[in-house]
Chain A
């Protein structure tokens, strides 16, 4: 089954404790991206990747890192999480570029205390 898998689905942690949210897709998609969704602010792009080893900042990249060492995986790293990063995070992928239909993971709800 074609899917985008995120882990964990839920996480409560404390300020400053490094965490990684994993994202994996099995559709051989070249394009992957991370979004955060906050009430009243909609979906905002954090980082995106056009292909392996090619990543770029989205609209709200501060406090986040990503890597794309393999085509299928695109982890989101919070080196020193802060409470303002409490949010619902989605990973998405598409065949080759941003304006193609995006396939989303189920989401990761992060709470930073």
Chain B
């Protein structure tokens, strides 16, 4: 079945440093979603990418969808302590989503 690999599993940064997490698939994706889960919280939808080569920005967050639609990245510029949490990518079809295992981000103030 469809799988999505997410790396790294953990990332520890100093506040102000940048952070990137990657999702990779062996198959072409129709779309990819990104979620954030704060410690003790539930996943919260951030964005969905659909088009090849698409780049979307939300303040300090930049999301990219690869030209071949087999990979995606989430980049955070100048991390803040409020960015702490686990970031998940999810891919799917009309019936279900397949989730990456997530990247847990820790930020040292």
Contact = CB atoms under 8 A, between A and B. Distances in A.
B85 interface: no
B92 interface: yes
A58 B97 CA distance: 10
A104 B42 contact: yes
Contacts of A99: 30-31, 33, 92-94, 97
Contact of B96 (A33, A42, A101): A33
Nearest to A105: B42
Interface string B22-65: 00000000110101000001111100100000000000000000
Interface string B77-104: 0000000000010101111110111100
Contacts, number: 58
A101 B90 CA distance: 10
A106 B97 contact: no
Nearest to B94: A97
A41 B88 CA distance: 12
Given A41-B101, A42-B100, A102 B45 contact: yes
Nearest to B48: A101
Nearest to B32: A99
A99 B93 CA distance: 5
Contacts of B42: 90, 104-107
Interface of A: 33, 40-45, 48, 50, 56, 58-59, 90, 92, 97-107
